[in-house]
């Protein structure tokens, strides 16, 4: 195992210390492993809290800041944050208008965020809503979930719900935006290589050089099938066609098309993939209204990519275009 680390057990706190040094506009609680926007709590504004296992950077801490999340909890690598972390994050961003938890559909995440919401409500009476993201069309159930996994749509949902909160919408309104994005989003991913969790010291799974895993999860969970390595044009069809088959994306105000790198894929390949994805969408009569290309929800150094589509409307387009200022995503400021 070759990694830029000191000790496997210290990867998460040491990375958070580095984030604190690189981004002094954030408050980083290394002990609780919580990252909070510097001006939190913002009075009268709905607070947005997300989190999950580390190893998916910049998800979630990289999306903390004006226009997106108010706080993020970092679990151990590929491990859910514990309830105490979520309680600390929720309390830190409670500006009196309630808090929305954005939770990827993994059993540990869902359970621990639910427990934290109950604890906060009992201690302070703060109203806490939750939206569970479940956009992955690859499998119905997996090693980590009951139902579909939460993957790439989480990034897009956090951005649009964050913009709604920044506008001053009430908790019910921000929650509705998040639920709308989740309902209109579908994703599918693919791995060319495995990744190595520092504590394990070896690849999570074996994937021969001439094979790829279609429908992989962000923790290395198996997907739909293992097939021979194919050209990008064929890979785009493998990823997009199941998404289009699950939800009608034609008509309306077009889609937000997101090609996401899994951590080990260079940007030149992601842009190449995006061109192929657009070609598949054009043939299917789907109009692209907005795009995002890059590695935003990774799986350590796994090579591969995922495709996420969101069916947009006027309101979602305005929310997507609204200013955002975070370490990993910023525009309009």
Residues annotated as catalytic (active site), given as ranges: 56, 219
Closest CA to 207 of 235, 228, 230, 231: 228
Q: How far apart are the first and last CA of the chain?
A: 41
The residue count for the chain: 333
Strand, coil or helix: 253: coil
Residue 220 to residues 277, 304, 314, Cα–Cα distance (Å): 23, 11, 36
> Using CB atoms within 10 A of its CB, is residue 173 exposed (0-12), middle (13-18) or buried (19+)?
middle
Burial of 84 (0-12, 13-18, 19+ CB in 10 A): middle
Give the number of other Cβ atoms within 10 Å of residue 141's Cβ: 10
User: Do residues 324 and 331 lie in contact, with contact meaning Cβ atoms separated by under 8 Å?
Assistant: yes
Largest Cα separation within the chain, whole Å, is 56
| Closest C-alpha among 66, 79, 65 to residue 33 | 79
């Amino acid at each position: 195992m070759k990694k830029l680390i000191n000790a496997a057990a210290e990867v998460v706190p040491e990375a958070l210390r580095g984030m604190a040094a690189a981004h002094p506009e954030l408050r980083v609680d290394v002990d609780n492993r919580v990252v909070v926007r510097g001006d939190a709590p913002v009075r009268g504004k709905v607070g947005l809290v997300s989190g999950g296992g580390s190893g998916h950077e910049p998800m979630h801490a990289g999306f903390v800041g004006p226009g997106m999340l108010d706080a993020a909890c970092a679990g151990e690598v590929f491990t859910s944050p514990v309830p105490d972390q979520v309680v600390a994050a929720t309390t830190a961003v409670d500006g009196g208008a309630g808090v929305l938890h954005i939770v990827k559909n993994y059993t540990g995440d869902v359970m621990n965020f639910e427990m934290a919401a109950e604890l906060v409500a009992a201690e302070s009476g703060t109203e806490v809503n939750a939206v569970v993201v479940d956009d992955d069309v690859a499998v119905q159930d997996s090693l980590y979930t009951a139902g579909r996994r939460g993957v790439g749509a989480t990034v897009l949902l956090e951005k649009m719900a964050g913009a709604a909160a920044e506008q001053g919408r009430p908790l019910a309104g921000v929650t509705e935006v998040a639920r709308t994005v989740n309902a209109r989003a579908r994703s599918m991913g693919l791995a060319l290589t495995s990744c190595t969790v520092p504590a394990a010291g070896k690849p999570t799974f074996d994937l021969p050089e001439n094979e790829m895993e279609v429908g992989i999860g962000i923790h290395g969970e198996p997907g739909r099938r293992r097939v021979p390595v194919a050209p990008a044009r064929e890979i785009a069809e493998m990823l997009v066609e199941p998404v289009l088959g699950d939800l009608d994306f034609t008509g309306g105000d077009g889609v937000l098309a997101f090609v996401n790198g899994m951590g080990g894929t260079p940007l030149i390949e992601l842009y190449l993939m995006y061109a192929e994805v657009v070609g598949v969408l054009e043939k299917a009569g789907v109009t692209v209204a907005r795009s995002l290309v890059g590695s935003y929800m990774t799986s350590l150094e796994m090579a591969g990519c995922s495709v996420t589509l969101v069916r947009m409307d006027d309101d979602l387009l305005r929310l997507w275009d609204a200013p955002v200022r975070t370490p990993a995503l910023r525009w309009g400021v």
